[in-house]
Amino acid sequence: MDPKQMPREMTGAELKSMLKSSINFKSLGGLKSEELTLPPEKKQWWRDAKVGMFIHWGLYSILGRGEWVRFNEHIPEEEYAKLADEFTGENCNMEEWAQLAEDMGAKYMVMVARHHDGFALWDSPGSYQGFTTMNTASHRDYIREYTEAARGHDLRVGIYYSNMDWRFPGYFDPKGKPESAAAMKKQAYDQIAELCGNYGKVDILWYDGSWLNHSGSDTTAAWLWEPVKLNLLARSFNPDLLINPRSGWEGDFYCDEGSHEITGKIIPVPWEKNMCVCSGASWGWMANDPVSDLDWLIHMLVDVVTRDGNILLNVAPDGKGAIPETVQNRVRELGQWLAENGDSIYGTRGGPIEPVDKVYGSTSKGQNIYLHIQDPAAFAGCTVPLAGYRVLGCSYQGEMVAYTQDGDSLKITLPAGLPKQADTIIRLQVDRPVEPKKDAEVYFTGK
């Protein structure tokens, strides 16, 4: 790229100020690489998909106190490793997991292949000390089972991988213990090659844990991982592979993690909201973790897509591989809502009408604009700004709705007696196809 045409830098703080947004993107300011940059059309399937299912499952699931339990409770490595003798996966059925994702309305899945504890859920020759499910109690390659099941349900395949590994002293002191750090790096390269090369076409590579010694960020650790080199290796197996920003390279999309609400304007870059179906106190399974209210999940979904993002919802199987019934029931309820209202979600783009926090937002597709109204009482007093489009029709569940349009201002009279619901969707037919905004050419520095 010509230096004169380089995107201008924008700090994370500036983004928040500009959009008055609640988002908190991870790993801003990653290395740039022309070789790795994908054109917008290569990301289109992902932007159309809107909904994905995240799965965290590993040795930590046996203890049920979160995926950081080994580090947080200072469990000795030898003691923790013995959990592999109990990790039999007797209730793990990947076909059922994939069916649940389909029932939820997800179009892609992302499964944890190896978390920070180093335990690999596949047949991994590159694993340090052979710490894998194939070499321990279950003798199963769960990543093979997962990828085959997901594809069998027409779901795009995503794999989560943590670069860090607590078993290496070099993680905690990479410059003081360079040989150990180099061995950890070699494991990462070997395992990325295995995951991207041995399981058919992988659609998403979802990194985590590239920071060092639990300090700094993924981007400040790029000197060790050489993420451009690492991701060129990953892309050698699939040149269209989508990659998140957590390796130290800037990535194909940005990530906002956690259950905090999304507020503010439409986000001008591809982004994904990562959150749990349960409380969010842990990504891994915890006993009696309360399941989120359905209306709240719908609100979160709508808040994300009206700001032009995707949502990746995490479910956590227990130590034996069973997903709690309460979680299954909730995600199926969300899937039923999507089955009834998917036209206003899938294949849309956020806008063109900017959202008003907790009142309404919009999505669009073709000559349709969908107003997602969360608070009909507050909306009743709103004049909706709609520049550049003339409304030809306004409807709610197929029935015409009264409206007036005066220039760039639109006033809608909602039907009387609307049921109490998380999202009231009004469809506007306009005189020409809605033009999605192009991605902003900005480079987030992370400052």
pLDDT of residue 412 exceeding 70, the answer is yes
Q: Quick one: DSSP state of residue 381?
A: T
pLDDT of residue 14: 58
409-413: strand order across its sheet: 384-385, 409-413, 402-406
Domain-located, residue 90: yes
Asked if the peptide bond before residue 352 counts as cis, ω within 30 degrees of 0, the response is yes
Domain-located, residue 389: yes
Give per-residue pLDDT as tens, 341-391: 999 999 999 999 999 999 999 999 999 999 999 999 999 989 999 999 999
- Of 344, 378, 398, which residue sits at a domain end? 344
Domain-located, residue 183: yes
64-78 average pLDDT score:
97
188-201 average pLDDT score:
98
- Claim to verify: residue 184 and residue 315 sit in the same structural domain: yes
- Claim to verify: residue 163 and residue 68 sit in the same structural domain: yes
Q: pLDDT-based confidence at 445, cuts 50/70/90?
A: low
> What CATH number did the domain enclosing 23 receive?
3.20.20.80
- Claim to verify: residue 278 and residue 357 sit in the same structural domain: no
- Of 295, 313, 344, which residue sits at a domain end? 344
DSSP characters for 128-183? Answer: GGG-BSTTSTT---HHHHHHHHHHHTTPEEEEEEES--TT-HHHHSTTTSHHHHHH
- Claim to verify: residue 303 and residue 174 sit in the same structural domain: yes
205-210 average pLDDT score:
97
Nearest to 373 by CA among 435, 408, 419: 419
> What CATH number did the domain enclosing 374 receive?
2.60.40.1180
- Of 324, 344, 364, which residue sits at a domain end? 344
Domain of 380, in residue numbers = 351-430
DSSP characters for 320-350? Answer: TSPPPHHHHHHHHHHHHHHHHHGGGTTT-EE
Domain-located, residue 436: no
Residue found under tokens 């609100």: 299
Task: Reduce the DSSP state of residue 208 to 3 states and report it.
Answer: strand
